[in-house]
Structure 1
């Protein structure tokens, strides 16, 4: 499909406790009155992860729509919290609710990657009417322990690279087994989304103290499930994207999700792990088709 240029701008919105949250808004050249998309990133990730899909949807020549990509507190350009204990799903959910209200969003399609998908399921329990459709990117009601322990091993613990070349090598070494087809240019782009230039060298694009939220996680600790929150998702179009090499979302969990939710759309990305990058033409096209189905289900005439 033809993709046109879309304007991108940064917004600052106050959280309930006053902390400033950053949201990136991708605005099409001409509004078509379609549902907006709200993108929520992973635990240590930021809004830049969504730039390919955001520009693809906002720049759709036939069906342009506004896309918002949020930096959770302590990530990207959102302010860091003085107390790292506030990096928890309950407070982050309150932040999402505040952002939705400040943006004047009545209903949106939620696209949540990993932690963002958890927040989407929590949003379904808190404000189901706000969800006109949902995409869960490599996350479900059950999280695999091995994947969590892998994330604990690096979150807040990666040494500061000397330069972007070394940064690209670090992320390649960390994630190469889950993303075997990426080139060094891809790893450099990943590094650019993960660090920024600071006064004294490279700085991670998230508060390193977020790693402390995983300190109590042990290999034998029970992991609470989110089946009640998943079951709270309203009867709107629902898609789950799973990386074929994911160690966070298992095929068995996806099968159970399908049995609980007939009509759940499943998109497998065979050569990627946790989480799929949402940048390949096949994935972009599948998401484009899905959001149009959300418009139809919401009664929008297209």
Structure 2
């Protein structure tokens, strides 16, 4: 394998999984933070590409992938995730890193900038900003936590294409099989493929979205003003609106931006246009 599989301990004793790629230390490491229901699997190709001269770490949040599930669903919240990330930095003795955050991972990156900017050497915000469009949040709330199961990966891929095809209109069928492999895991007991996260996440998300206590993330985003930051938007995104993306440019004149056609939420970061920009941006963050 091109990576090692490891665990670290959260402050409340959960074993949390991460992948470690590369061994070089001529540049700061990259920390890959996935979307809400996603895992380290999403970053395999990105991690291999950029691990030639620096280490790349891809983390599974609690309740996702190969990390422990939390017995208390209320701990599936951004404040706890941030605590887990801080624990990772402490245990790995990382002083500064380049954050690549997709969706929730980008929200956590912005929060880190507001709370502990000293850890951030640079940031890539993949289809996420300080405001989440209501259309996207409603769509996400509708599917998170639903127990979808399939007899085969091919059946799972077909359903994924049916549901999310609008976000990837030009993606070939073979790539949908790849998406199924990063979304579902085989359940030995049930003899079928299940979603690769704790379904209790749906209950946690519903309570957070419906809470009257919403955090204004614009001040956190503005904290990135003097940090090299690349913001990527899928032109078809229902999570990061064009209006919010434009405001992000206004609030941070130093922000580097990229819009990817034929992509909704979220770009996969394997698009040729994305890789060309990422190659240049990441090379400049030491």
**TM class by shorter-chain length?**
over 0.9
Paired position in structure 2 for 1:230: 221
For 1:282-297, what aligned pairs fall within 5 Å after superposition?
282-295=273-286
Paired position in structure 1 for 2:180: 191
Structure-2 change in CA distance of 1:8 and 1:21 (3 Å): same
Paired position in structure 2 for 1:244: 235
Pick one of 94, 111, 129 that aligns with 2:118.
Answer: 129
The answer to whether 1:44 aligns with 2:37 is yes
Task: Note the C-alpha offset of 1:194.
Answer: 0.7
Q: Which moved more, 1:112-121 or 1:281-290?
A: 281-290
Paired position in structure 1 for 2:200: 209
Residue 241 of structure 1 contacts residue 269 of structure 1 at CA under 8 Å; is this kept in 2?
yes
Count residues in correspondence.
284
Structure 2: gaps of 5 or more residues: none
Structure-1 separation of matches of 2:136 and 2:147: 17
Paired position in structure 1 for 2:16: 21
Q: TM-score normalised to the size of structure 1?
A: 0.90
Structure-2 change in CA distance of 1:221 and 1:249 (3 Å): farther
- 1:222-252 per-residue CA deviation (whole Å, 9 max, x = no partner) reads 9643101111226120110101110000111
For 1:1-302, what aligned pairs fall within 5 Å after superposition?
7-28=2-23, 31=24, 33-59=26-52, 64-199=53-188, 200=190, 201-216=192-207, 224-233=215-224, 235-295=226-286
Q: TM-score normalised to the size of structure 2?
A: 0.94
Aligned-partner SS, 2:150: coil
After superposing on structure 2, the runs of 4+ consecutive aligned residues of structure 1 that deviate more than 6 Å are 217-222
Task: Note the C-alpha offset of 1:193.
Answer: 0.3
Aligned-partner SS, 2:268: coil
Residue 138 of structure 1 contacts residue 275 of structure 1 at CA under 8 Å; is this kept in 2?
yes
Structure 1: gaps of 5 or more residues: 1-5, 296-302
Structure-2 separation of matches of 1:115 and 1:242: 14
Structure-2 separation of matches of 1:72 and 1:32: 25
- 1:58-93 per-residue CA deviation (whole Å, 9 max, x = no partner) reads 14xxxx221110001101111100011100000000
Residue 124 of structure 1 contacts residue 234 of structure 1 at CA under 8 Å; is this kept in 2?
no
Q: CA RMSD in A?
A: 1.8
Structure-2 change in CA distance of 1:223 and 1:171 (3 Å): farther
Task: Note the C-alpha offset of 1:178.
Answer: 1.1
Task: Note the C-alpha offset of 1:41.
Answer: 0.4
Task: Note the C-alpha offset of 1:221.
Answer: 7.7
Structure-1 separation of matches of 2:227 and 2:147: 40
Paired position in structure 2 for 1:298: none
Structure-2 change in CA distance of 1:12 and 1:269 (3 Å): same
Between structures 1 and 2, the one with greater helix share: 2
- 1:110-164 per-residue CA deviation (whole Å, 9 max, x = no partner) reads 0111111111111112211000000110000011000000011111115211211
Aligned-partner SS, 1:208: coil
Residue 15 of structure 1 contacts residue 21 of structure 1 at CA under 8 Å; is this kept in 2?
yes
